[in-house]
Structure 1
């Protein structure tokens, strides 16, 4: 039951922004953020729950939260002075000062040749749910897949050729320490609708993937395109032709589009899919012949 004095904020929408016991939500202004925080704290209190560990990149919002309920990192700072600390949000580091998401790369050192266990350790230690670093993780994953084909033990050294590529890939990851991406899709605060989703898909003999961008227009002809999601997958051990892999990439793009449309709260208009495969385009536009089961599916 909502407080009748605060019906101007739709708290019901906030339920879709809870992940287990964490809430991650964005508002258009500090005023909306203050009202949302106040009403969320009131509604959860009615159910016997207390929301704590609040953090925000807005000083006004933080000042509206009792100090005892703020996150440890922002509890004792002087809100009139900067910089803000960096906090972790759902496993990703959030730079409150610059409002950026930071991907942390753990430093990895090992004497001697790498093993399959080392490869898996490094690959698993890099966490980026939106696919920031997908292009840089493909090489280690391909090497790991090739070593799996060799059917050697987890503690056996990888091949000399893969060791060279592994060291190159490891250096690339190390150079990406504290890689940052803007959290906000459009800092201008444009409310123009509808937005557009553009998906670019492609494939090779070892991997295929899709990268998605959000195209935003403020209604005056000023257009901003921002990265929103990237996903890459290795090709199965069973060899497939390039046209079929290009088709896999196109299907993946459609699945990504469905996921993003479900997750985005903004009004997205048309989705545009891009591919450089003429064969895939012919598959999609074909209406005259019946395909074999693989292509039909």
Structure 2
């Protein structure tokens, strides 16, 4: 449409409208395409496949990670596995806020000193 030289406020000719509608219809089909993840080419003939999930925590933080170990004969491959459904930044921030508010409430009721005000902030 841009290459046709039509100005911004002009109406589109019928052939461009039809081309645009076809493009939009084809664009919807993209959601149907699935590309399977390939962690390792060893998986189809693997002797053993082991997911290993590690967790750690301290007073300052906690974390988890999951690795996939694939064994085939004398070969071993190791990969970090990430969730297939990626969380949005907004969802991650919401989860952090929920955890922060629960921690603050727990501390508030666990302290034996009077609390005047409480603050909950998102680090930037």
The answer, yes or no, to whether TM exceeds 0.5 is no
In the superposition, the TM-score normalised over structure 2's length comes to 0.40
In the superposition, the TM-score normalised over structure 1's length comes to 0.19
Bigger radius of gyration, 1 or 2? 2
